[in-house]
Structure 1
Amino acid sequence: MAFLGTLCLILVLTTLAGNFANRLGVPAVIGELLIGIIIGPALLNWVQLNSLVSLFADIGVVILMFLGGLESNLQLLMKYLKPAIVVATSGVIFPIVMMGLASWWWGFTPLEALFIGVIFSATSVSISVAVLKEYHALSTREGATILGAAVADDIMGVILLSLMISLLASQGIQAAGSQPALGLVLLEQVAFFGGTYIVVKWIAPYLMHLSERLVMASSVTIMSMVICLSMAWLADIVGLSGAIGAFFAGIAVAHTPYRAVLADHVEPLGNAIFIPVFFVSVGLNMTLDHLADNLGIIVGLTVLACLAKLLGCGLGARLSGFDLKSSTVIGTGMIARGEMGLITAQIGHQAGLLGGADYSAMILVIVLATIIAPLVLKQALKAMPQTAAE
């Protein structure tokens, strides 16, 4: 029952922080992220990232991405699929090269430097979705490209992580946990996306229509949550982020007559409990261990982490025909790091590749980049004329 007190504290503080952030003209998510740093191990140490907080955070990101899918336009996503792949590819190459070379220059071994580059090649678009929703930019060509690139980025992240684990094994370094063969993982992911098409086309409309006929309160909303959670679970099984499965569940349900009703029902549920916990959990990952010893590396890598995605994804967008302002929006929308980076860093730490001080520094850089991302995305959105989705 102690967790109920923790949950009350998180909800009260994030509500106040979001209010102050909005009054100051910055995205509400910034205030919520900062609350996680203030009440977490970095400062007051009132709340730790335990299993219950992690569970609520996982549900929060799933609901957030489900809402993002509800507000997305599938035709627009398909239209900008090719630019999204270009953006994702350049957005993976730039961090590996820039972060890898910088880490090598700072004294890391070539293998460690390559591993650090892979850590920061992954994007977590969940934070950007919150900002895009807040500024009504999800159903634009820039929003569609960011979301499409996030899906491609997640697949590339799984491939890179598998390759790095194989490379570690070849060097006599055993990563924690057994990993399936890369070919099997890719086959499972192809099957997942094939199944997703079937869900969008036939299964989701049938289940939503069936739920309306059930004599049960909120049956339509419950069915949508069943679809959301099951697709997030399946995505996780095949090695993708559960957020990706939830996003496609949102798209599937959005192509039924119940889209508006579900947005009205699910969004209050997410924003009232789970989504604030997710934002706070990002800040709870942050500690100040070995800060003084690694301050130069932390500042330098944080700047490079932001620039690598901005330049890489921005260049990909420019090569795909976007103008400078739209390319900047897309680049800033891909800056945030998240679960894939944290998982990769943890694997490196457990394998002995990243020592305690270096591991703490990498986690700190991931959190700082995630906090910076909504600020720069907001500025990029303000500089771009608001246009309807094409």
Structure 2
Amino acid sequence: MEPLVYLAIIWASVFIANILAEKTRLTPVLFFLFMGALLVNTGILPEQTGDFIRVFAELGIIVIMFALGFEENTSDFMKSIKRSWGIALFGALAPFFTAYVVADYFWADRNVAIMCGLAMTATAVSLTMVSLKSEGLHRSQAAKGIMTSAILDDVGSLVFVAILVPIATGSTMVSLPAIGLIVLKALLFFLIIAAVGMWVLPERPNGLLSRIPGFGRHGVRHVLSIGKGENTTLTVLTVAVLAGLLSHLFGFHPAVGAYMAGLILKEEYFQITATPNVNHYKNTKQILDNVAFSWIGPVFFVNLGAHIVFDWDILLAVIPQTLVMAFALLVAQIASAGLAARYTAGFDNAQSMMVGIGMLGRAELAFVVMDIAYVQYKILNDEAFYTLMGTALVLNIAVPVGIVLWKPHFNRSVEKQAE
């Protein structure tokens, strides 16, 4: 029964966080993170809540990312990839070298500096997208730029990990075949998702699939229409989880696969002839949003906040390092991503600033790298580890706060463009 007790505590904290968010008019994500850190550091939640909460939280981020992709337009996303390459490239290189230089200055250890750079490279897209959604900005051009850039960052960060972790650990020699395999897996994953979207899901599958007896006449709309559409939510959630598992198989976070699954499911697939007066797309979207943003999804952010476990003696000792690291990364990330958005993607100044703010978050991959460097290989010393944890917390808080503060300027820019 203990896991259920922890879940009840987390849900109670989500309820409190929503009240605080409503009173302060800040995004709930900020308070979800705060409640997680508060619960674990006061001993209400243990440092290790067990597999049940971990899997529940993992399901939460899968559903969140699927829900965000579900309301996105596929063609707009593909256009955004062409536009966002510069944001992804410069938005990853700048924080890596910034964290490397700061870490090398404080601890004078190349391996520690490499792992600090890796931990601070990838953007926590889930945090940003939920923060943007809470402000009604998740369908803006800036949000699309952030989303696609962050996914490209994820791919690039995996390549960085493949190259630099062996150097830092001294475990294996770096080889071009190993790097090539990572890149090949990334390309293959996106090709599979694209093939499913183009040839498997349509009402009548295309290409060679159309020649398969029986199967060639039935696409996803026929599957969704089973039971007069009553199983649409079950069907799409199954697709989301399967895509997440495929993503994990290829070495990505499952959330990336879930987002891509939502992206390739089109609204017209939900037009079921047996129930023409029912908007199954709208109904399914409402259920997904409720699951993702009200009761399962928030568990991910509370659990993420619960990773911030502080030894207060060490914490006080690394305040200067944390402040320097956080400030340097904040400036470098906003400047690099913002300038790239302005001059390689063609966003205006207000949108570019929003892109820079949206690229600040650090979560999934950051904690994976910290686990490799601190727990598995003991590369990071205690001071470096707590500096990274504190920096991640500061940057994650900066995302929703920055979005709220910059929103009036952003909206004025959008209004001017609409005139």
Give your verdict on TM over 0.5.
yes
Alignment partner of 1:318 is 2:339:
no
What's the secondary structure of 1:292's corresponding residue?
A: helix
CA displacement 1:324-365 (0-9 Å, x = unmatched): 211110011110001111111211122221023422332232
- Contact 2:121/2:157 (8 A) holds in 1: yes
Distance (whole Å) between structure 1 residues aligned to residue 153 and residue 296 of structure 2: 25
Residue matched to 2:224: 212
CA displacement 1:140-192 (0-9 Å, x = unmatched): 211111111011100001000001123135xx3579xxxx9332222122111
Residue matched to 2:165: 165
Alignment partner of 1:339 is 2:339:
no
Residue matched to 1:233: 245
* Larger deviation, residues 22-31 vs 363-372: 363-372
Residue matched to 2:206: none
- Contact 2:65/2:256 (8 A) holds in 1: yes
Distance (whole Å) between structure 2 residues aligned to residue 128 and residue 370 of structure 1: 9
CA RMSD after TM alignment: 2.2
Larger radius of gyration: 2
Residue matched to 1:186: 183
Amino acid across the alignment from 1:314: G
Compared CA separation, residues 264 and 227, structure 1 to 2 (3 A): same
Residue matched to 2:83: 83
Alignment partner of 1:382 is 2:399:
no
TM-superposed CA distance for 1:138, in Å, is 2.1
Residue matched to 2:258: 246
Structure 2: which 5+ residue stretches go unaligned?
204-218, 271-280
Provide the identity percentage: 21
TM-superposed CA distance for 1:136, in Å, is 2.1
Distance (whole Å) between structure 1 residues aligned to residue 334 and residue 229 of structure 2: 46
Residue matched to 1:280: 302
Q: How does 1:26-41 map to 2 (within 5 A)?
A: 26-40=26-40
Residue matched to 2:207: none
Distance (whole Å) between structure 2 residues aligned to residue 88 and residue 252 of structure 1: 22
TM-superposed CA distance for 1:300, in Å, is 1.6
Alignment partner of 1:197 is 2:194:
yes
Distance (whole Å) between structure 2 residues aligned to residue 111 and residue 59 of structure 1: 34
Amino acid across the alignment from 2:378: G
Distance (whole Å) between structure 2 residues aligned to residue 168 and residue 20 of structure 1: 43
Residue matched to 2:64: 64
Alignment coverage as a number of residue pairs:
383
Distance (whole Å) between structure 2 residues aligned to residue 29 and residue 373 of structure 1: 10
After TM superposition, which residue ranges in structure 1, 4 or more long, deviate above 6 angstroms?
none
TM-superposed CA distance for 1:205, in Å, is 4.0
Distance (whole Å) between structure 1 residues aligned to residue 353 and residue 245 of structure 2: 33
* Larger deviation, residues 243-252 vs 194-203: 194-203
CA displacement 1:112-132 (0-9 Å, x = unmatched): 213211210111110111112
* Larger deviation, residues 265-274 vs 375-384: 265-274
Distance (whole Å) between structure 1 residues aligned to residue 268 and residue 240 of structure 2: 14
- Contact 1:76/1:141 (8 A) holds in 2: no
What's the secondary structure of 2:9's corresponding residue?
A: helix
TM-score normalised according to structure 2 size: 0.86
Distance (whole Å) between structure 1 residues aligned to residue 229 and residue 238 of structure 2: 15
TM-score normalised according to structure 1 size: 0.92
